[in-house]
Structure 1
Amino acid sequence: MSTQMERAKNGVITTEMRTVADKEGLSSEEIRLRVTAGSIVIPANHNHTSLSPEGVGLGLKTKINVNLGISPECANLESELAKVRMALDMKAEAIMDLSNYGKTIEFRHRLIEMSPAMIGSVPMYDALGYLDKKLEDITPQEFLAVVEQHARDGVDFVTIHAGINKETAQHFRQTSRVTNIVSRGGSLLYAWMELTGQENPFYEYFDDLLDICTKYDVTISLGDACRPGSIADATDGAQISELIVMGELTQRAWRRNVQVMIEGPGHVPLHEVVTNVQLAKKLCHGAPFYILGPLVTDIAPGYDHITSAIGGALAASAGADFLCYVTPAEHLRLPTLDDVREGIVAVKLAAHAGDIAKGIPGAAEWDRKMSQARQDLNWEAMFGLALDRGKPERYRKESSPEHQDSCTMCGEMCSMRLMNRIMDK
């Protein structure tokens, strides 16, 4: 079977393109043209039969991703599946399986079977446990075999840190960083390169990786191994040198009709967020930009869902296409169910704020309906329009006013109530 990009280039409008067009309110032909150009991707593995396809990229609604997965410290498969169900209930468009321990295949199979959302993974995380080898004993062919296992299972996109080659690593060594390499996959590959003296296998054997992606129509999400882990390290030489390599790999993938996303930085001061989006779009030829956060300050452990939402809203307004959620537990622990909910709400707020700024059709209309419901003092309509209905409904019940056409904040001095009475005369 051919890939979405190959069929788009051949003038074919696929079922997935039609589905995306219907969701976005655009023509199928416009979707096809943007898939051809690489400015949008439709991650849709042939083996993910429960998928409801989504488009990510230029002119489309900003999508969100939720990270989940089992680890050595928290290997409870059922608790992670509960988070999956919550993410799906809250309409997350993507879930990334970051499992790195235990029943990774079982978890991935159940996730893909139940999920209409697109599924991503980082095969590098799974390699050590899957192969049961020391890092330095793993061969390039074995790394690729793990990628193919994920693709065969039905993963729609894979994060591959192919941009940290020997040249990029040299730039990193010459850069005095506060937090070195904070990407888990990137640090593993850098360590493998240092231990073996070999080139990054995903860079050296990139054509073999493209063979796998072509076979299953898996989208490559080019991971940013050198993303900054502190605002002091943002937009430095290591990050930019890797971004240049990612741009070269993007064009190589497109020539093979493999769809590509570019992953973006983690910690970026507010005044550099727009610059980072523009650099990624320019150096990577307009490929969709998938960004973690960015977190605009380093001082708020326990509240990083807020710091990332600030950066995410600005990034989305500047053209970022896909936001990865950050939970209050970031840097501290594996997130609980409540942490996941808080993270999803924060990132959805950021995505929606960005969509308003980008002029995405229908985005501002949602806000207009909420404003009208507020003016009408229509509480049920407000709850129905709320991003997360449960919390405002609970607040209203916990503090019930004497008059139902007001709240306990203003009571009889409610401006909406007063203006409705005066304007209705």
Structure 2
Amino acid sequence: MKNHRHIGTFLATAACTLNLIGCVSESDENEVVEDTQESITRTRCTPTGDICAHFDAHAAAHGKKQKQIIINHLISLIKSARPNSSIHGSIYRFDLDEVFAAIEEAIKINGVSVSLVLDGCTDPTHWNPDRCKTRESVAMSRRLLDLSAQHPRKLKLTFCHNQGKGCLYYPQGTTNSIQHAKYFLFSDTENNNGGPPRPTTWISSANLTTATGVKAFNDSLTFYNNNDIYSQLKLYHDAQNTSGSYDSSFTVPTANSHVYLFPEVPGNPLKGSLEKHLRQMEKKNCEILVAHMSFDLEEMVEVLRKFATEMKCSVKVATGNGEVNRVHLRMLAKMPRTEVKDWTNDPDGHGAFHAKTITLRYTGNDGTHHRIVYTGSHNLTHHSTERSDEILVEIENKFLHDAYVRHFKDYWNLPNRKHTNWDVIK
């Protein structure tokens, strides 16, 4: 048995060395991710530059000017769209003038075709201010409709109203779905590696707003030159436009990723994926960090309990909606090796906790080391899992994992002071 294990470890280590899988070598396992409070993680790319993560921390909490990293990156992608190419986007809330200006320029100057899918609460023709507190986004939708009227062949808008405010919710009798997915697809952009233009995909937790985009804890992933993820999400976008069918779960081998698309993906794929990792891990030096705005899934509490009690992992949970999450947070806080914090939004509007990420580090039964990130638009709630248009990405990559861990520590270690307020849950 020892020889078999050594052979398995050798092969896995070789695969790591060749960058065929997302695990890390033995020497990397105890590497410490630097953690300085005033040095905010902003951007991290894989060594080949084919995937990049961008982060916006709550800059006011650090006493720094907001740099708007994620939104500026998206604007740069829009501006780099080649003449006569296409952009397909899906967003929950949108009120930023600078993003509108970039889209307008792409259409008018470069002849780019743009298709946007928007939540039904931002539709001016169906707006109910008592049900939808979306005045700024509705005003932006009116500007988009005017632009579409001027360029009907270049700008297509779809406002979701399928049994609620989402596009893809099918069960009868429910009216509270939403279109919450946040992604942009570029058919032809400048190549991040300097080669010929290729399809590019941007996926984020951020809305295109000041409150939950610019001034909030968020992240984004950009996949350059990857037709696999681009083409599958293009099918999803087409389905959102027509309430049609799509592949609700698919693998992206070229990015060592798996993508889950809601609401058709069966069950809770995040729970299933984490339980798969539980079955193949050793009780050795494991860590799981959860950063989610909302958390009301008891089944996820049970999964985290297994990491903490059965596998003896270090577990940290940060949330940003404590009044909703309080019961589940207290359940988590009672577990061994588990710390829980809840962010209280600053009343002056300096920042919201809008993160939707999980990082996992562990050693497998075969001796290989794994570092995994889950991110996207999906909250740990029944609403996100069962009712809404959402996207969740699972990616195994050491460089991205370490960047997300660093970003987590950027806000986890913030002291309580003006514009910051961590409530430690006991």
- TM-score, normalised via structure 2 length: 0.29
Could you say which structure has the larger radius of gyration?
Answer: 1
Q: Larger helix proportion, structure 1 or 2?
A: 1
Instruction: Give the TM-score normalised by the residue count of structure 1.
Output: 0.29
Relative CO higher for 1 or 2, CA cutoff 8 Å, sep ≥ 6? Answer: 2
